[in-house]
Amino acid sequence: MVWELDGTTPRRVEPDPPEPIGVPSPLTAEATLLLEQAGVDVVVEEGEVIGEVQGLEVARVVLDGPDGPARLEVGVGRFDREAFALIHGELSPPEALARVVADVGEHRRPGVEPHPINRLARERWLRRRIIDEPALVGAAALGAVDAARPRGGLRDPGIAVALGARSDGTPLVVACTTGIDLEAVPDAADARLRHAPQAELVIAVPARDAHRITRELAELLARPAEVVTVEGAWPT
């Protein structure tokens, strides 16, 4: 809770309302279908359509202006998309997507050797696991949603959020995080406020990252969150 002085009188500061949830343009429908046909996970963030393989972005639908057209850019992150287009410009979008999906999928699975590709965006990889196995966090079903604030680059810390319900219908928001991120708990609370203010809140972390400070911060929320440990599928 934040207070400010109005003259000599303390006054509670009301928080700004959450940003509206972005909706993809209808112009992205054809490119989104290509993602679905390639078997990647389609995620919408801030109104943009992203294709992921085990939590790692491999493609993004980009609009050339508000009236389109929409095109599919393939690659792991913005710089890789630009480089891939320069080097493999002769490939059709489905061919380019199939190549990147195969390359990334080779390294984003259990039992593989450590590789830069399986070190990236692990909080999103963890989200993919709980969506596939929602019972790990006490849910009946979950789907990916965006966080309350836009994520930075692939290496920037941040949470990955899922929205769903428990088996009894209780709404549930799950925020996945890895490592030490002191912003994870307040970001998780903001995500709940944005998507389902009355929902229960779970913070999912690998056991090695279930630090005391995360649990303490979760307890300090006006409506405390539950910290649940879930092991990732990446190599240690």
Q: What is the DSSP letter of 174?
A: E
Return the structure tokens found at 193. 């406020």
Maximum mean pLDDT: which of 24-28, 92-96, 172-176: 172-176
Q: Where residue 163 falls among pLDDT bands split at 50, 70, 90?
A: very high
Instruction: Give pLDDT tens digits for 132-154.
Output: 999 999 999 999 999 998 888 88
pLDDT (mean) for 197-201? 97
Q: Return the domain boundaries, the chain.
A: 26-107, 121-229
pLDDT higher than 80, residue 104: yes
Fold for the domain defined by 121-229 = Trna Endonuclease; Chain: A, domain 1 (3.40.1350)
pLDDT higher than 80, residue 106: yes
3-state class percentages of the chain: helix first, strand second, coil last, to nearest 5: 35, 25, 40
Instruction: Give pLDDT tens digits for 45-99.
Output: 999 999 999 999 999 999 988 887 999 999 997 777 878 777 777 888 899 999 9
Helices 29-37 and 93-107: crossing angle in degrees, nearest 10, is 50
What mean pLDDT is reported for the chain?
92
Question: Tell me, what's the pLDDT at 147?
Answer: 95
